[in-house]
């Protein structure tokens, strides 16, 4: 499993896709945070805050993570190497986990450089260091779990088709539905206690909760559960080839 994980990570980092994803993520967040005169601009905001990053990043991840994962199994199926992969001395679950953790590793690689933004805002604060670090670290943790959930959705989408474009579109659709779909239902259809229950089924509610700087075990259990469900669905999808 470790060998396959290393192979997948090297595959990302020795091809353009890995670097393109990281560069696009940093470029887009950098432009919105420091250049474009919008509400996310740190210099125009007037406060030492990275709220703009954590509002923008999930929507960028909605497209970039499916771009990372779309080739995970779809490319294997199209090239005919899926059978060779499955004959390795690994269980289906180990294969899925190796590809999943490789995707998560790339998400981590894309987040690490954004610590430069944190350092910059820390230095720009008046007085220097006037920054809510608890909220920022909570937001990073939330963003990591959110990205990990999107990766699990992406590899599932890739496992049910041999077309990378179809995999990408399907992953974007499911991820958006999980992230914002329940928010729309809560905002436009339901209200009261029932509405709050519906809202709590979405990724956004739990991401927002962690971003406040309070790590609630219910939020962690939710993210882990969503990830586990899609990993198991991916495993079932791969097993279906034997039926």
> How does pLDDT run across 123-135, given as a tens digit for each residue?
776 667 667 777 8
Which pLDDT value is given to residue 176? 94
Q: Identify the H or E element spanning 85.
A: helix 82-86
Contact status, residue 67 vs residue 154, Cβ threshold 8 Å:
no
The rounded distance, in Å, linking the Cα atoms of 157 and 128 is 46
Radius of gyration from C-alpha coordinates of the chain: 19
Residues ≥6 apart with Cβ < 8 Å to 26: 110, 113, 114
Q: What is the DSSP letter of 128?
A: T
Any idea which residue has 């007037």 for tokens?
46
Q: What is the DSSP letter of 34?
A: I
Per-residue confidence in pLDDT tens, the chain, 243 aa: 777 787 778 777 777 777 887 888 888 888 878 777 767 676 666 666 777 888 889 999 999 899 888 888 888 777 777 777 777 777 888 889 999 999 999 889 888 988 888 888 777 766 676 677 778 888 899 999 999 999 999 999 999 988 899 999 999 999 999 998 877 777 776 666 776 777 788 898 889 888 877 788 889 999 999 999 999 999 998 887 665
From the list 148, 144, 155, 166, the residue with the least C-alpha distance to 232 is 155
| Beta-carbon-side half-sphere exposure of residue 99 (alpha carbons within 13 Å) | 31
From the list 98, 99, 139, the residue with the least C-alpha distance to 118 is 139
The rounded distance, in Å, linking the Cα atoms of 240 and 237 is 5
Any idea which residue has 């950098």 for tokens?
30
pTM value > 0.85? yes
Residue 38 — left, alpha, or beta (φ > 0 → left; ψ -120 to 50 → alpha)?
beta
* Other C-beta atoms lying within 10 Å of the C-beta of residue 126: 8
Which pLDDT value is given to residue 156? 95
């Amino acid at each position: 499993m470790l060998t396959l994980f290393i192979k997948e990570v090297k595959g990302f980092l020795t091809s353009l896709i890995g670097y393109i994803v990281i560069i696009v993520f940093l470029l887009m967040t950098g432009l919105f945070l420091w250049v474009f005169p919008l509400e996310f601009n740190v210099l125009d905001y007037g406060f030492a805050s990275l709220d703009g990053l954590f509002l923008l990043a999930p929507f960028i991840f909605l497209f970039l993570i499916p771009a990372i994962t779309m080739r995970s199994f779809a490319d294997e199926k199209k090239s005919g190497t899926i059978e060779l992969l499955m004959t390795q001395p690994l269980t289906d679950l180990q294969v899925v986990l190796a590809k999943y953790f490789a995707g998560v590793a790339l998400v981590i690689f894309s987040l690490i450089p954004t610590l430069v933004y944190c350092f910059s805002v820390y230095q720009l604060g008046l007085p220097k260091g006037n920054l809510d670090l608890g909220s920022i670290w909570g937001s990073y943790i939330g963003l990591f779990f959110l990205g990990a959930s999107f990766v699990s959705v992406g590899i599932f989408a890739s496992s049910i088709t041999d077309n990378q474009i179809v995999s990408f579109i399907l992953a974007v659709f499911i991820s958006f539905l999980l992230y914002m779909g329940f928010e729309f239902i809560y905002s436009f259809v339901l209200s009261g206690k029932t509405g709050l229950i519906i809202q709590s089924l979405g990724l956004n509610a739990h991401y927002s909760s962690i971003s406040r700087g309070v790590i609630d075990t219910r939020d962690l259990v939710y993210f882990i559960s969503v990830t586990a469900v899609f990993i198991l669905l991916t495993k079932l999808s791969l097993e279906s080839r034997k039926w």
